[in-house]
Amino acid sequence: MKAALGQLQIVWEDKTANLKKAEAYAGLLAEQGTDLFLLPEMSLTGFSMHTDRTGERTEETVEKIQRLAERYGMTFGVGWVRDAGEYCENHYSLVTPEGRILDYVKLHPFGFGGEGEHFRGGESLPVCELGGFRIGVQICYDLRFPEPFQILSGSADLILVPANWPASRSGHWKSLLKARAIENMAYVAGINCAGKMEELYYSGDSRLYAPDGTKLKKEVLRLPGCCPEERVLVYDLQNDVHRYRECFPVKEDRREALYKKLQEET
């Protein structure tokens, strides 16, 4: 499977401009036979708490992305905001030319950034199959919580982490992505935004780790005139998770019943 991580500079709260940019890159990626094009968290708006502007009741972002998927013959990963009434939800969907195959809601609203005042957390860990991989998702701040990754890795070979993760904490981003790959023996892809947005700077640092923590090689695409940090990283992937887990069977030594017992006793 050929997968592309879209480390894009998001135009603040401008869905039209961001969709246009995504389509421009999709045209280049389609020429290379790309199967999966992944965009960052809140792909068409940035990490905005102005839910009156970003929230959707009719899922128009998913509909527009599906039209792009049909046009360019590839699957897209897109982040968007659902208006759920009193609170919103931070969604990430995988959308094929035939329709949506996965829809995940961020489990952990980012309290430090005020997300918990506007968003409620999700309560499920969906997994889908694509290109020989079983794929799950965690969004940005979810990366700091290891337990859902362990649960996901029981059925997922590739875990996507779309994000709006600022440069001031980039060291945490890189360390945690690598750690999640190693401890779960799964492929982990971090898809971050790039450049200046409102008062924050995003260094990007998107990357894809193998189950042993090796950072994979990639090709780089850039549109003319984009900011220095913006780029699309393209990887050729084969699902060999079983080989890693057979050669070094760490997961067989986990003691789930004991962990549960110790937690209950604490």
Distance, in Å, from the CA atom of 203 to the CA atom of 256, rounded to the nearest integer, reads: 37
In the set 15, 21, 64, 106, the catalytic residue is 106
Is residue 41 annotated as a catalytic residue, yes or no?
Answer: yes
- Residues 86 and 50 sit within 8 Å (Cβ to Cβ): no
- Residues 103 and 124 sit within 8 Å (Cβ to Cβ): no
In the set 15, 21, 41, 88, the catalytic residue is 41
66: tokens are 């599906």
- Residues 21 and 47 sit within 8 Å (Cβ to Cβ): no
Helix, strand, coil: what percent of the chain each, to 5? 35, 30, 40
Is residue 140 annotated as a catalytic residue, yes or no?
Answer: yes
Residues 6+ apart with CB under 8 A from 60: none
Amino acid at 46: G
Quick check: helix, strand or coil at residue 100? strand
- Residues 92 and 79 sit within 8 Å (Cβ to Cβ): yes
- Residues 75 and 92 sit within 8 Å (Cβ to Cβ): no
In the set 140, 218, 229, 230, the catalytic residue is 140
Measured from the Cβ of residue 11, the count of other Cβ atoms closer than 10 Å reads 17
Is residue 260 annotated as a catalytic residue, yes or no?
Answer: no
Q: Catalogue the active-site residues.
A: 41, 106, 140
